[in-house]
Amino acid sequence: MTAHQPIIRPVFTPETLERIAALYPLQAGLLHHHLPDHPLLSLEALAQLGEGMPASEVEYNPGNVPIGIRPEDVPSNGLSIGETIRGIESNGSWAVLKNIENAEAYRVLLMDLLGELKPVVEPRTGAMLTPQGFIFISSPGSITPFHFDPEHNILLQLKGQKVMNVWPAGDERFAHRREHERYHTGGHRNLPWEDSYREGAQQVPLGPCDAVLMPVMAPHFVANGDAPSISLSITWRSEWSYRESEAHAANAALRRVGLDPAMPPRWPSYAWVKTVGWRIVRRLKLVS
């Protein structure tokens, strides 16, 4: 494994931190970064990283899938993760390496980057919990299907170009409360897609040195450009994001007994009784 290379100057400028402060935690938006070419992020280093990961921490498939494909319908690309990454220019694939913080050198890189964000993030959402990193490697023209994620996330574009298509988090026109409940009780992140959603999209074009702030549970899909792409997602959770997850899980339990609970409000403080109640129920093992 390539050793960590120290970052000599800040990756996020004061102007970018001001932009994050204006957006975070509820709005998606374009940012910029100065992460230099890094030996840990070369294709060969990423191929070696992927080959050393457990199967649960790598995901890869053909890149020419529909925006709204169901997870059970995603086909295999017939390659190994190492072959997928090394041949990404021509094999028409998409791959993600998950939880890169489990490799020490990548954890150091992740924590260095998150450390630059703390002065902006922690006054707004508290401690940066559960730091995780994800690396996306995409062939020209590939699609990451319509989905949402539970983390606060800044995605740094390193190589190639892509367009992030994102919709407002918590807007039931694009992800109904039942989809949130399904996800937060163990369901897949992919969401049902309708072509009419395109009219409501915020499009954020990304090239090298660009980044995008992604709110918790904001529906999105990604369309890659005409060259191979490498992107790094640096993510964290907050007490607020965990409370939102627990509120949706509690709603799912209420729905199973015949009720129709409302979509929880998003920010900054809500459903405290419901989330505390859910934690007590889980500890007592009254629900699975």
* Residue-level pLDDT at 265: 84
3 state SS for the chain: CCCCCCCCCCCCCHHHHHHHHHHCCCCCEEEECCCCCCHHHCHHHHHHHHHCCCHHHEEEEECCCCCCCCHHHCCCCCCCHHHHHHCCCCCCEEEEECCHHHCHHHHHHHHHHHHHHHHHHHHHHCCCEEEEEEEEEECCCCEEEEECCCCEEEEEEEECCEEEEECCCCCCCCCCHHHHHHHHCCCCCECCCCHHHHHHCEEEEECCCEEEEECCCCCEEEEECCCCEEEEEEEEECHHHHHHHHHHHHHHHHHHCCCCCCCCCCCCCCCHHHHHHHHHHHHCCCCC
> Which amino acid makes up residue 241?
S
pLDDT single digits (tens) 19-53: 999 999 999 999 999 998 999 999 999 999 999 99
Percentage of the chain exceeding pLDDT 70: 91
Token pair 């369309």 is found at: 223
pLDDT single digits (tens) 147-202: 999 999 999 999 999 999 999 999 999 999 999 999 999 999 999 999 999 999 99
> Which amino acid makes up residue 151?
E
* Residue-level pLDDT at 274: 52
* Residue-level pLDDT at 139: 98
Smallest CA-to-CA distance from 252 within 148, 159, 201, 181 is with 181
* Residue-level pLDDT at 195: 97
Is 82 exposed, middle or buried, given 0-12, 13-18 or 19+ CB atoms closer than 10 A? middle
* Residue-level pLDDT at 2: 58
* Residue-level pLDDT at 262: 92
| Residue 235 clears pLDDT 60, i.e. is over it | yes
Two structure tokens written together for 132: 């995780």
| Residue 1 clears pLDDT 60, i.e. is over it | no
- Fold observed for domain 14-238: Jelly Rolls (2.60.120)
* Residue-level pLDDT at 146: 98
* Residue-level pLDDT at 5: 72
Domains of the chain: which residue ranges? 14-238, 242-283
With beta carbons less than 8 A apart as the criterion, state whether 254 and 186 touch: no
Q: How far apart are CA 178 and CA 171, in angstroms?
A: 12
pTM of the model: 0.92
* Residue-level pLDDT at 283: 55
pLDDT single digits (tens) 208-217: 999 999 999 9
| Residue 249 clears pLDDT 80, i.e. is over it | yes
Q: How far apart are CA 238 and CA 242, in angstroms?
A: 6
Q: How far apart are CA 208 and CA 231, in angstroms?
A: 9
Percentage of the chain exceeding pLDDT 90: 87
Two structure tokens written together for 56: 């649960």
- Residue 183's DSSP bridge partners are none
| Residue 278 clears pLDDT 80, i.e. is over it | no
| Residue 269 clears pLDDT 70, i.e. is over it | no
Smallest CA-to-CA distance from 172 within 146, 197, 145 is with 197
Task: Look at 261 and 281; give whichever has higher pLDDT.
Answer: 261
- On average, the pLDDT of the chain sits at 92
Smallest CA-to-CA distance from 16 within 159, 113, 160 is with 113
Report the b/e string of 170-206 with b at 16+ CB within 10 A. Answer: beeebbebbbbbebbbeeeebbebeeebeeebbebeb
